[in-house]
Amino acid sequence: MQNTCLRQFPLFLLLTVSLTVALPTASLQAKPFFEDGFLGLTQQEVHAKLGIPHAIRSRKSALRVFSYYSPKDWKKYFSKLVSPQNGEDVYTYSRDGVQVRYSFVYKPDFREAVDFPTLHVKRVEVEFTPSVPLKTVPSLVGEFNPTASPDDPAFRSNLWVLLFKGPPSKDAELVVEQWDKEDGDWSLAYQLFSLNGLPNYLTVDSAIDRLEFTVQSLSRIHQIGRHTHEPMMNPYSPEFAQRPPEQPKPKKTIPVPVYAE
């Protein structure tokens, strides 16, 4: 009987090791929160999906000022000077004569009690050089699939257009920075920016410089964004493109003084 137990013990040990290898942790098996396929992925999954980054960039301030490094230099030296999430993975492509640059911004999973927690994608920035018309963005970014209904949630300011798509995801709270994030419903949001500002009468030919895939709360915009988020018709709906052109504004005449004779 003792020999039988000894023969079974290595088999039990082998099965235990096999299960440990075959069942990675939840962080390593992260899946995207939404249909874009990026938000929520770990940094390792981004690398497996897109390959080694073409460059790593570090944000210098709250303004859009960056320093770019090669992956080799970043890993060897610069990554030791800043927190891991400060390095954004950059992938650059040329599509239809336009430079399309993807930048992945990460957030650590602070639920992990380790020195270097797993990084998850919290935002994807896609920049266009030169700027492109609003109607061209879906053809340049395959992951960007806006809805076509004119009544779907859409907002604007003088610098950006914000679109929502799909139902909220409770899992998306993982990459939200707000302290009271448990009170919000977090959904996939597309935000399109224009560096030179958007015209008052937006058209499908208005210039766009950057697209961001983000996680935002529609309910919070209704609560606290009423003065900063102007509701608008979905710019990717057929009805938006069929609007009549902007009416010319009446010219103000300069009053001519009348003098007594």
Task: Quickly list DSSP for 54-113.
Answer: SEEEEE-SSSS-EEEE-HHHHHHTGGGTS-GGGEEEEEEEEETTEEEEEEEEEEE-TTS-
What is the rounded average pLDDT for all residues in the chain? 85
pLDDT digits (tens, 9 = 90+) for 118-171: 999 999 999 999 999 999 999 999 999 999 999 999 999 999 999 999 999 999
Q: What is the band of 12 on the pLDDT scale with cuts at 50, 70, 90?
A: very low
Whether residue 23 is predicted with pLDDT greater than 50 in this model: the reply is no
Condensed to tens digits (0 to 9), the pLDDT of residues 223-234 reads 887 788 999 999
The residue-averaged pLDDT of 8-25 equals 41
Q: Where are the alpha helices (DSSP H) in the chain?
A: 2-22, 43-50, 71-76, 137-140, 218-224, 238-241
Residue 77 pLDDT: 87
**Is there a contact between 247 and 215 (Cβ–Cβ < 8 Å)?**
no
Angle at CA 107, nearest 5°, toward 225 and 34? Answer: 65
More confident: 137 or 83: 137
Quick one: tokens of 17?
């090791």
Tokens found for residue 185: 């419903």
The whole-number pLDDT of residue 64 equals 82
Longest dimension (CA), the chain: 131
pLDDT at 206 over 90: yes
Cα–Cα distance list, 146 to 165, 166, 187, 229 (Å)? 7, 10, 13, 18
Q: 170-179: b or e for each residue (b if 16 or more CB lie within 10 Å)? A: eebbbbbeee
State yes or no: pLDDT of 259 exceeds 90: no
Lowest mean pLDDT among 3-7, 54-58, 113-117, 211-215: 3-7
